[in-house]
Amino acid sequence: MNEPVPAAGVPVCHRHPDREAHVRCQRCGRPICPDCMRDAAVGFQCPACVSEGARSTRTGLAAYGGRRSADPRRTSLGLIALNVAVWLAVMGTGARDSGLLARLMLLPRGRCTVEGDAGSYYPGVEEARCFLAPDGVWSSGLSDGAWWMVVSHGFVHVDPFHLLLNCLGLWVLGPAVEAAFGRLRFLAVYLVATLAAGATIYWLADPAGSTLGASGGVFGLMGALAVLTLKVGGDLRGVATLLAVNVVFTLTFPGISWQGHLGGLVGGALAAALLIWSPRGPRRPLWQVAGFAAVAVLLAVAFVTRTLALT
């Protein structure tokens, strides 16, 4: 008996062109018929992708080219420990009056602060005239040479509740992202999100203000997890709900940097997309490195251009 021919316009299985296929492989995206459907952690995969996944597992590779982490929680714990250590150092050197705080948080422009009270400053007083102010001490900003602030702002906190929320976000989101990408790629996503948050703050926030906290990196993990969920065809409602709650929180309470949250979200999503949709094959790591290098160049141009505008 002749096999029925699929109607025109109906998708067909990439392995059996004479069979209709209304399901796509969650790994490669190609249509597969019921005979080719293999159960996966989320949805179905084709036989070729199942074999490749098994081979990657044997070689210790994660799904997108990174080396699989033995314990995906470890890096997030390390980042949490770093944030707590910096917070303790700030608390031990004066809390809101800490000179360390003034050197680590993101200041778009330098400011003339009061000696022994880093939280107070003389508005509009430039560096050349700071010595004329009573107890005036100049604190450099990003636009006048404190380049480390593009990263350091993402690891410093003052308010313990702020620290707790960001550490909780790292603990909840970090292991899932690291399990998918591996440790080095997870750290690359987090770094890009933090840098993108800094660039967005630098361009859109008040140049006379200051910003601090790991929220940009945490929002970057949300963006990365959303892209991952979209790629595997998972349920986006959990990530969308978490993101919606944080957006409402960001826009409702004063003093929260929506600029940093926006930049971190976009940066993390872009970094995850570069890892996921880089061409498959032995040269995939090179494509991923090239993609991250291009993003680094764009961020560097953004920082330099804004610095020139402020100076």
Q: Token pair for residue 41?
A: 């952690």
For the chain, the domains span 1-59, 73-310
- Section 104-125 average pLDDT: 83
pLDDT 10s digits, 149-166: 999 999 999 999 999 999
Whole-angstrom distance, CA of residue 178 vs CA of residue 230: 17
Mean pLDDT (whole number) for 116-127: 78
Question: Is 6's pLDDT higher than 70?
Answer: no
pLDDT at 2 over 50: no
**CA dist 114 to 157, 172, 185, 265, 268, Å?**
20, 39, 42, 35, 37
What was the pLDDT predicted at 113? 83
The tens digit of pLDDT for each residue in 254-265 reads 889 999 999 999
73-310 is classed CATH 1.20.120.430: no
Asked if 162 contacts 145 with a C-beta cutoff of 8 angstroms, the reply is no
Mean pLDDT (whole number) for 224-237: 89
Mean pLDDT across the chain, nearest whole number? 89
Tell me, what's the pLDDT at 263? 97
**What sign results for the dihedral spanned by CA atoms 8, 13, 16, 19?**
negative
Full-model pTM:
0.80
Cα separations in angstroms, 137 against 94, 112, 211: 16, 6, 20
Quote the pLDDT of residue 159. Answer: 95
**pLDDT above 90 for 236:** no
Q: Which residue has the higher pLDDT, 6 or 204?
A: 204
Q: In this model, does residue 126 exceed pLDDT 90?
A: no
Under 8 Å between Cβ of 226 and 269: yes
Q: Give the model confidence (pLDDT) of 132-142 as tens digits.
A: 888 888 889 99
% residues pLDDT > 70 (the chain): 92
Q: What is the mean pLDDT of residues 100-117?
A: 87
Average pLDDT over residues 267-295: 95
pLDDT at 192 > cutoff 50: yes
Out of 40-49, 95-104, 106-115, 167-176, give the one with best mean pLDDT.
Answer: 167-176
- Residue 191 pLDDT greater than 90, yes or no: yes
pLDDT score of 42: 56
Q: How confident is the model at residue 66 (pLDDT cuts 50, 70, 90)?
A: confident
Q: How many Cα atoms are found within 13 Å in the side-chain-facing hemisphere of 8? A: 0
pLDDT tier at 10, thresholds 50, 70, 90 = confident
Task: Give pLDDT, residue 1.
Answer: 41
Up-side HSE of residue 138: CA atoms within 13 Å toward CB? 16
Q: In whole angstroms, what is the distance from residue 279 CA to residue 282 CA?
A: 9
Residue pair 197/263 in contact (Cβ under 8 Å)? The answer is yes
The per-residue pLDDT for range 241-257, each reduced to its tens digit, is: 999 999 998 988 888 99
